[in-house]
Amino acid sequence: MENSTVSDLVIALDEDDHHKYTKYSGKGIIYDIGPAPKLIGVNEKLNRIANQVKNDYDYIIWAADDTVPMTYAWDEKLVNAIKDVPMGISYPNDTIQKERFPSNGTCFDTKIVRTLGYLAPPKLIHLYIDNFWRILGDELGTLRYCGDVVLEHFHYIVDQSLKDELYSATNSPQRYNYERHTFLTYVNNEFKIDVRKLREAMLEQNT
């Protein structure tokens, strides 16, 4: 929290292993212990938490537990980047994807969740979520990259010694094939509908 200046921290843990984590007390730190996902992946709990807080906050920033914010006031800078951008999505340099995709540390106008009912299509499990945010922000013209904001992602891609059973399960060739098919099916059948919903909400906001 030492580099955060405007955020509360909601930490999502699974009921089957939350006891393994050291818990810290303090203002603005909230632990949410929920059901373990049916399939290992981040999206189920990401959407659950996003829907829980969507009416309490104007912006949501998400990050996995293998990331560390390196820039002071990183959260405030990401919020400021989309304060005047309805349905805005801003993202930092995560040291891996960089400008290519909004990945860890991505900040969202919570009206996206209020309008769609999710932060990423629920049929996705763990992969291609950043692809969704990329095409959504590009289509709406609301994507903002903040290259001077650094959130370091300690992923096994850059250090093979970090690879464990969890990484192997969520990044297997079989999982990539399944989620790629799921993502393309969403793009071909539902993406235009979601974009229309968001544009209609943007128009209502401006009237």
How does residue 207 score in pLDDT terms, banded at 50, 70 and 90? low
4 lies in a domain?
Answer: no
Domain assignment present for residue 170? The answer is: yes
pLDDT at position 78: 98
* Structural domain includes residue 197: yes
Instruction: Report pLDDT digits (tens) over 143-162.
Output: 999 999 999 988 545 544 44
Q: Which H/E stretch holds residue 64?
A: none
How far from the centroid of its chain's Cα atoms is residue 70's Cα? 18
Q: Would you say residue 1 lies in a domain?
A: no
Tokens of 6: 């405007």
Averaged pLDDT, 133-145? 98
The confidence score (pLDDT) of residue 155 equals 53
> Which of 118, 126, 136 minimizes the C-alpha distance to 40?
126
Count the domains in the chain: 1
Q: What is the pLDDT of residue 19?
A: 74
User: Considering the entire predicted model, what is its pTM?
Assistant: 0.90
pLDDT per position as a tens digit, 30-86: 999 999 888 888 999 999 999 999 999 999 999 988 899 999 999 999 999 999 999
Domain membership of residue 2 (yes or no) is: no
Domain assignment of residue 202, yes or no: yes
Q: What range does the domain containing 192 cover?
A: 9-206
Whether 118 shows a pLDDT value over 50: the answer reads yes
Q: Is residue 42 part of a domain?
A: yes
CATH number at residue 138: 3.90.550
Predicted local distance difference test score (pLDDT) of residue 137: 98
Residue 129 falls within a domain, yes or no? yes
Element (H, E) at 129: helix 129-140
Nearest to 113 by CA among 32, 57, 154, 54: 54
pLDDT confidence tier of residue 7, bands split at 50, 70 and 90: very high
- Return all residues near 105 (Cβ < 8 A) that are at least 6 apart: 61, 62, 63, 67, 69, 74, 78, 91, 92, 94, 149, 151
